[in-house]
Amino acid sequence: MSTEQSTAADRFPYTLTRTLDAPAAKVWRAWTTAEQYAQWAYAAPGSVEMDVRPGGAWKATMVTPDGGQFPLTGSYLEVDENRLLVVGMDVPGKPEPSVMTMELDEQDGHSARIVLRQTCDTAEERDMAEQGSTMLLDSLGAFLAEKPAG
């Protein structure tokens, strides 16, 4: 078995899919506009900065349910407006960023299917990332439901 196959086999992916009651453009704005992102993504007020373009940087300080705060940084690897966002997240002690892919697919002009994908190094990392992503999708859905169209 080659090292490449072994590495791929030893990775731990997850995929989450949801249909949101909002058009893709509205979902995209919620995910890529600092002011909106901060409202639903558990970010500390004023901590979100986004330069949404390939190679552009982002940062946010996330607030945990128990009130703890931790800073996150990274960059945008791929950007296809209203369709695809590939985000690199810096991980202390690791040479390569952790990569999350967010895909949007317009369903009927009124709803969008969102797919989040990430591959982690360990089952524990995957479980934590999947739990965090599930919380994000729950919060995003609630945010979109209460925000007027536009």
pLDDT tens sequence across 112-122: 999 999 999 99
- Average pLDDT score over residue span 27-47: 95
User: Residue 9 — pLDDT band, cuts 50, 70, 90?
Assistant: low
Q: Which residues of 5-42 are buried (b: 16+ CB within 10 A; e: fewer)?
A: eeeeeeebebeeeeebebbbebbbbbbbebebbbbbbb
Q: What is the mean pLDDT of the chain?
A: 90
Domains with residue ranges and CATH for the chain:
12-146 (3.30.530.20)
